[in-house]
Structure 1
């Protein structure tokens, strides 16, 4: 599989790259800065330098090239509203249109659990972030692509357990980024896993079994 990752220099993007390469896949991606490009090139990972917030759709089409699948892992993490809109909202819209133009059907989006941080008093910027992420989920789910939306719970940098809870609904606790990346790679390699919204949390089911338990014939 030839996979193009938008957000390849981020934590999940880098972990996903390793997971996919271990499966024999070709991985490329979009980075914002030249030093990120140089670092990935040194690791044998081709990348295209471009600012998703400012590049036009055709430039993104050219960057995607002949990919078999697109993974969108970029995110503003609840920063300034203008950045949130540009990346988490307009950026996803732009990527959906670029996928259509490039002829790429498979599109996976890393989103957020709607219940995240509901036990806290959230500021306006973070509330706006959740609203924009929800809008992106809706836009992708109403597209004609072979889409997949993965909503992980609170991301942590602990070592992956190799076991998760995965399904249409999950509790909001926490999950290791390594387990998110492995789950995402496994989902991408399951052709029957499309047009689904799945929520991901720490759990006791081995990742491959958790993915297979959610397969449905189409």
Structure 2
């Protein structure tokens, strides 16, 4: 399986690339900074340098063409302002979807954020509010695309604790933490299970093994 990962140098993306390459798949990481090529390649992925904030649909399509799936794991990151939450977290996600549609790659897995459907409460930091709204807009755009078999995963607060392989995964869960290791494992499990298409699921640490948790969340879809 060839999987193109936008935001290929992100901590979740690198973990996912290692999992895919370890299984014999072919991950491809789209990165903005050429200094990150070695890190992406060390994770077992092909590195492609392209700035998604400046790229055209045709440029992204040239990378995506022939893939079995795409994963959006990009983010403007800490320290970026509200404007980049829109250009990366919303517009780049839509650009990847446009490229997938243009090349007939129908499988799209999105890394979103817990609570993205809800308006940020009064008093929320302006940059975080912009991030949350950008994630909601990106999710809404993806869910409107009938040509794509999309799955949206909305993790809680990310940590670098070792993964446990046990999660709480549902349409809505109580806010909590989730190791990046487990987010990557959930993304891999979703990629391998077509019955997760059409699901938007929140994710935090829990007690249920990942595959049964996905199966339970999918219900009659499986």
Asked whether the two chains share a fold, i.e. TM above 0.5, the reply is yes
1:92, distance to aligned residue in structure 2 (A): 1.2
1:43, distance to aligned residue in structure 2 (A): 4.9
Structure 2 runs not aligned, ≥5 long: none
Residue of structure 2 equivalent to 1:188: 191
Higher alpha-carbon deviation: 182-191 or 35-44: 35-44
CA distance in structure 2 between the aligned counterparts of 1:41 and 1:151, rounded to whole angstroms: 27
After superposition, the Cα gap between the structure-2 partners of 1:60 and 1:199, relative to the gap in structure 1 and judged at 3 Å, is same
After superposition, the Cα gap between the structure-2 partners of 1:71 and 1:91, relative to the gap in structure 1 and judged at 3 Å, is same
Question: Aligned runs of 1:33-182 on 2, under 5 Å?
Answer: 33-77=33-77, 79-114=80-115, 121-144=123-146, 145-182=148-185
1:209, distance to aligned residue in structure 2 (A): 1.5
After superposition, the Cα gap between the structure-2 partners of 1:50 and 1:194, relative to the gap in structure 1 and judged at 3 Å, is same
1:8, distance to aligned residue in structure 2 (A): 1.4
State the TM-score, normalized to the length of structure 2: 0.91
Deviations 1:83-135 (A, max 9, x none): 1111011111111111101110000110001279x799521111111111111
Out of 211, 215, 221, the position equivalent to 1:217 is 221
1:169, distance to aligned residue in structure 2 (A): 1.1
CA distance in structure 1 between the aligned counterparts of 2:20 and 2:41, rounded to whole angstroms: 16
2:152·2:199 contact (CA, 8 Å) conserved in 1?
yes
After superposition, the Cα gap between the structure-2 partners of 1:44 and 1:16, relative to the gap in structure 1 and judged at 3 Å, is closer
CA distance in structure 2 between the aligned counterparts of 1:44 and 1:199, rounded to whole angstroms: 28
Q: Superposition RMSD on alpha carbons, in Å?
A: 1.9
CA distance in structure 1 between the aligned counterparts of 2:44 and 2:76, rounded to whole angstroms: 27
1:207, distance to aligned residue in structure 2 (A): 1.1
2:17·2:43 contact (CA, 8 Å) conserved in 1?
no
State the TM-score, normalized to the length of structure 1: 0.93
Structure 1 runs not aligned, ≥5 long: none
1:69, distance to aligned residue in structure 2 (A): 0.3
